[in-house]
Amino acid sequence: MKIFNKVAVGCDHAAYEQKQKLLAHLREQGYEVKDCGCDSSESCHYPIFAHRLCTSIQNGESEVGILICGTGIGMSIAANKHKGIRAAACSEAFSAELTRQHNDANVLCLGARVIDYDKIQSLTELFLTTEFMGGKHATRVGMIADIENGTFSE
């Protein structure tokens, strides 16, 4: 079941080919997709594309995002510097599902040098169709927002 309609996708040079395939797949599935770059397999700086994608979510142009680099780690670090972004680097289904259920993650980060395209596609589909559970998890996500806003207190 689709939960989101507007998905942003971005990558660096290590994942350009995988991004192109994923964009086509998501469009075939009926998602409104924003391509945040990069535009070739030439070496580039991943924070640029993480920033583009996160800004798209922050301004409401996209609901969620998929970032792909060599490991997913650099993209997740860059994405998590943006207010309101909860990005998780995942390479297997359990983490991809729980980051939506428990953390209400709005950005999935994947590693093109860690997993193959079929896994990228399946983790993306799982991420896009898993609902946030709310309840005690909403309290925890709220606490994370408080940390981000400098208003957290134990």
Q: Which residues does 13 contact at the CB level (< 8 Å), separation at least 6?
A: 38, 40, 41, 42, 43, 44
Residues designated as active site = 69, 102
Distance in angstroms (rounded) separating the CA atoms of residues 119 and 103? 21
CA distances from 100 to 18, 69, 75 (A): 22, 20, 18
CA neighbours closer than 13 Å in the CB half-sphere of residue 1: 3
Beta bridge partners of 64: 7
